Amino acid sequence: MAESLRPIVSYTWLIPVMPLAAFGLILLTGRKGPGRGAYVAIGAIAASFVLSMLVVAWTVSNSAQSLKGPYVAGGHASAHIEYSNEPREEETPHPWQPVGIYNIQPYTEHYDLAPEPFARSVPWVTIGGQPIRMGFVVDPLTAVMLVVVTVVTLLVEVYSIGYMHGDVRYPRFFAYLSLFSAAMLSLVIADNLLLFFVSWELVGLTSYLLIGFWFERPTAMRAAKKAFIVTRLGDVGLFLGVLLLFWYTKTVNLREIFEQIPSLLGMTLHLGKTALPIMPLAGLLLFAGAVGKSAQFPLHVWLPDAMEGPTPVSALIHAATMVAAGVYLVGRMYPVFAYSDHSVSLTVVAVIGAITALMAATIATVVNDIKRVLAYSTISQLGYMMLALGVGGYTAGLLHLLTHAFFKANLFLGSGSVIHGTGTQDIQQMGGLRRHMPRTYWTFLISSAALMGVPFTAGFFSKDEILLEAFHVNKVLFSMGLAAAFLTAFYMTRLISLTFWGEQRDPQIHAHESPRVMTTPLIFLAILSVVAGYVAWPTKNLFHEFLHFGEGHAEFSWQVATMATLAAALGIGLGLALFWKRVIDPSIFRRALPWAYNLLANKYYFDEIYWAILVVPMFWTMNLLARFDQKIIDGLVNGVAYLTVALSILQAWIDKWIVDGIVNFTGGFVKLWGRFFRFAQTGLLQDYALIVFVGLLMIIGVYLYKW
Amino acid sequence: MHLTLQQFSFIAVAGLTIISAALVVTLRNIFHCLLFLALAFLGVAGIYLLLSADFMAAAQVLIYIGAIVVLMMFALMMTHRVMSTNVIQTLGQWWLAPFPIAAGIFFALFRVLIRYDFKLKGVPAAEPTTGIIGTQLLTRYVLPFELASIVLLVAMVGAIILAKEDKPDDSP
Amino acid sequence: MIPLNWYLFVSGMLFCIGIFGVLSRRNAIAILMGIELMLNAANINLVAFGRFMDPSVLAGHVFAVFVLTVAAAEAAVGLAIIIAVYRNIEHINVDKINIMKW
């Protein structure tokens, strides 16, 4: 089967190109296109889906034969499954030290690069003597990402037909979605950092366009700008990391970079007096991009505001795919991160992931907007993924990415259905929707269970694996993850009870179920939320065989699984007690610890801090420059005006007194002389006689005085 | 001051001449001017006599008084219609240009005649001058004599033509 | 004896009076009178010098005769002109005759 599919795989580059063509087509045809642009987009993405499935099939069948994992294979890398309850030998002496924080066998010491995954490239440009090639690569990681992106995009676009119905810019929405999917798909199949970076930026651009889709709303535009600028901060780091790698490896091709990593160990970059070791530095810079794009602490502030965009956008981009691009980045560049047993960059990744997971979960407990709860939940789950990758749980993190995409997208679409049906986003006003919107309710419930890690849902398998990896590496990180799991269960229970259970609180709301075109994708995603995890069944972890790094052993620990389930159960119980049965009054927290409540309600004042530290000085500087510019420029202009006036006054004076004076003087002079000489021609006889005698007098005078 | 009779008579005659001349150029009535002009001419003739220029005196009286003054009288009569005696005859601003110039020239001449030492060889005795003048006219100065006669002819013809009236039926 | 200077003084006086008359009279005939005075003064001058300098030849006297001749001719022609002018413009006020110019 692999060989028959192989020629098809060489057309992998079509996968992003078809949505790109759809983008162009919709721009050209607009409203007159099929389904006013929707069908063009859906057709393109469906075609990409089909092609992706063929590629995935090829990859799966290929890996069954010889390919184990993306880059590493040894002769003995078979799936070896341990059941172990004991902790590993390497104990961390102190939780805070980045020593032995993970137990990955160093890639560089024991393993060769895997046989070439499927890769095609064409020469593109030559920079500084180095030829750069553009192309794609197909390996298990690519396959997983293709599944995620195409499935979710297809379902979201179908959903959008209903949700965006009647919008004035309906075709443009589908154009943007097509452009986004083209960029995202090209991101996941890129085989070099340059194409990766271009797609990364393009994804950010389409995110901006889609968040600000309803650009008449100033809040939407502010949110779009915030998203773009905050992710841009991360992108600076990413670009620096790309440059650093290019400088030292003289290539942007991923495979060639990975081949040269062993030679880069120990090299340092000299900046002035400091010498920075390259390997952690490159990883940290790349991770900066992931921090921005995946809304990790401290660049998480844009994601809640990004909920201003239409709900399908939130579902697709800010839950399933774009924010997962950061996780994908770490996964794809894992050799750069995992260069040694004590990798600084992986430590940073894990710590930040854990902090993000816990922090976002705490905020989500007090939020009242249904989409924002889900936004903070997304931030928290992304933190989980980063935590997983940081502690060496390569497979766990990526599995969570896959499952999270399905259930979180479902939750968002479900919330969109709620908003569509009730007209509000404030859960305090909702209630009792269970009766009015049954399909939305049940799909929402199923995906929530997956999110909370209820056993036998997809989320259970992925979250459990993450906690297991963390448990073996660092107890502090594990406990943070566990606390986050508890809080996740709590706030999701709160959300569901306030939204769907109980009685309707706002009499104005006349809830109705959404049309079939919206609820059908919900059903599909709900099904996937349950079954997607079964590929990682503990006893026969196919997923782990498919996608792993190094000599990975898929494990299962009853101890950890019990602790995780217990945490989730506690959270659900607490949530039910507070919000369903009203056994405990929900406002007790607010009254007992008002300072804590305010801290959470204001999102730890991150926005305010950033505003004060960054934005205010910038505005101040801008104002200063503007006023300066105004004064100088206006001063110059006014000065020129005054100068002109002064010059003209001077010139007027000159003209009046000097020029006119000369002219008048000349005239007067001539008149004087004329009057003088006119005497010689008066025509009067006696005047002539006068002249004669005057001459006579003069002659006599001359003679007199010559004596 | 001891004046001889000659000197005294000279002063009288000269004074008469000068006063008459002054009156000629200042009187308002032009006929009176003309009469005083005749008197001035007469004074000049007297001066000639004192100079023993007997021919010149006679010629002066005959020509100047006898012909020229009469001629002027005729002309005055003919142009008298418009020039009444009430009209001011002298320029309004005679003190501005004419008088200073005349005075200036007089002072210059006066200075000359006082300072200069004419190399005189003494004054000879008086003789009749007519014969000498006649002789000179016809020997030494015969050309100017002939030319003078032509001048007179031309003047006469010219005066006649100039003063002629243009009558329409005038036949050449 | 009467010194030469006295004659010259008289001559000069007459001459300047004649100049004054020429320059300041408005009647054309009065101007002619002034001219006659000037000529007479010149004659006195000539005769005096002739008598005192050169009694044998009497060049001064001869010159004075010629001056006399020319004076007469000139008076005749001048008066004829004045008559002609008078016929055309009905007056002989030289203040108002100013066409002898370019």
Residue type, C66: F
In whole numbers, what is the pLDDT of chain B averaged over residues?
Answer: 86
pTM: 0.62
Q: Residue C97: its chain A contacts at CB < 8 A?
A: 683-685
- What is the pLDDT, as a whole number, of residue A322? 78
| Mean pLDDT value across residues A563-573 | 85
Higher local confidence (pLDDT), C70 or A264: C70
- What is the pLDDT, as a whole number, of residue A73? 33
Contact across the interface for C56 and B132, Cβ inside 8 Å: yes
| Mean pLDDT value across residues A173-191 | 90
As a whole number of Å, the end-to-end CA separation of chain A is: 147
| Closest to B57 (Cα-Cα) out of B66, B46, B71 | B46
The predicted-structure confidence for A55-80, as pLDDT tens digits, reads as follows: 888 777 765 543 333 444 332 222 22
In whole numbers, what is the pLDDT of chain A averaged over residues?
Answer: 79
Q: pLDDT-derived band of residue A547, with 50, 70 and 90 as boundaries?
A: low
Task: Collect all residues with Cβ–Cβ distance below 8 Å to B146 and sequence separation of at least 6.
Answer: none
- What is the pLDDT, as a whole number, of residue A88? 35
Nearest to A681 among C19, C95, C101 (CB): C101
C31 touches chain A (CB under 8 A): yes
| Closest to A408 (Cα-Cα) out of A366, A439, A444, A440 | A444
How far is the C-alpha of A632 from the C-alpha of A637, rounded, in Å? 8
| A580 token code pair | 């369903």
Q: pLDDT-derived band of residue C37, with 50, 70 and 90 as boundaries?
A: very high
How far is the C-alpha of A313 from the C-alpha of A251, rounded, in Å? 35
CATH of region B1-84:
1.20.120.1200
CB atoms closer than 10 angstroms to residue A271: 8
| Mean pLDDT value across residues A200-204 | 92
Helix (H) or strand (E) segment spanning residue B38: helix B30-50
Plot region of B122 (φ>0 → left; ψ -120 to 50 → alpha; else → beta): left
Q: Residue C98: its chain A contacts at CB < 8 A?
A: 682-684
Which one of A574-578, A653-657, B143-147 scores highest in mean pLDDT? B143-147
Domain spans of chain B? 1-84, 126-164
For residue A190, give the DSSP letter.
B
Share of chain A above pLDDT 90, in %: 14
| Mean pLDDT value across residues A348-369 | 89
- What is the pLDDT, as a whole number, of residue A603? 74
Phi, psi of A119 (to 5 degrees): -145, 140
Contact across the interface for C23 and A689, Cβ inside 8 Å: yes
| Closest to A364 (Cα-Cα) out of A377, A355, A348, A352 | A377
The predicted-structure confidence for A503-513, as pLDDT tens digits, reads as follows: 777 666 667 77
How far is the C-alpha of A381 from the C-alpha of C78, rounded, in Å? 140
Quick check: B101 pLDDT over 70?
yes
Quick check: A350 pLDDT over 80?
yes
- What is the pLDDT, as a whole number, of residue A550? 57
How far is the C-alpha of A42 from the C-alpha of A58, rounded, in Å? 24
| Mean pLDDT value across residues A364-383 | 89
| A476 token code pair | 């502090």
- What is the pLDDT, as a whole number, of residue A74? 30
For residue A138, give the DSSP letter.
E
| Closest to A468 (Cα-Cα) out of A84, A81, A70, A141 | A84
Q: pLDDT-derived band of residue C100, with 50, 70 and 90 as boundaries?
A: confident
Nearest to B158 among C37, C50, C80 (CB): C80
How far is the C-alpha of A78 from the C-alpha of A552, rounded, in Å? 9
For residue A168, CA distances in Å to A26, A31, A165, A505, A544 come to 15, 10, 9, 32, 46
Quick check: A344 pLDDT over 70?
yes
Lowest-confidence region among A41-50, A273-282, B51-60, C82-91: A273-282
Quick check: A337 pLDDT over 90?
no
The predicted-structure confidence for B150-172, as pLDDT tens digits, reads as follows: 999 999 999 999 888 777 665 55
Helix (H, G, I), strand (E, B) or coil at A241: helix
Q: Which residues of A297-328 are buried (b: 16+ CB within 10 A; e: fewer)?
A: bbbbbbbbbbbbbbbbbbbbbbbbbbbbbbbb
Phi, psi of B90 (to 5 degrees): -100, 150
Quick check: A95 pLDDT over 50?
no
**Domains in chain C, CATH or no CATH each:** 4-89 (1.10.287.3510)
Quick check: B1 pLDDT over 70?
no
How far is the C-alpha of A76 from the C-alpha of A583, rounded, in Å? 57
Quick check: A546 pLDDT over 70?
no
B112 touches chain A (CB under 8 A): yes
Nearest to C40 among B41, B52, B106 (CB): B41
Q: Which residue of A has its CA nearest to C20?
A: A690
How far is the C-alpha of A366 from the C-alpha of A368, rounded, in Å? 7
Share of chain A above pLDDT 70, in %: 82
Higher local confidence (pLDDT), A114 or A39: A39
Q: pLDDT-derived band of residue A83, with 50, 70 and 90 as boundaries?
A: very low
- What is the pLDDT, as a whole number, of residue A142? 83
Q: Residue B134: its chain C contacts at CB < 8 A?
A: none
Chains A–C, number of C-beta pairs less than 8 Å apart: 30
Lowest-confidence region among A77-86, A236-245, A525-534, A568-577: A77-86
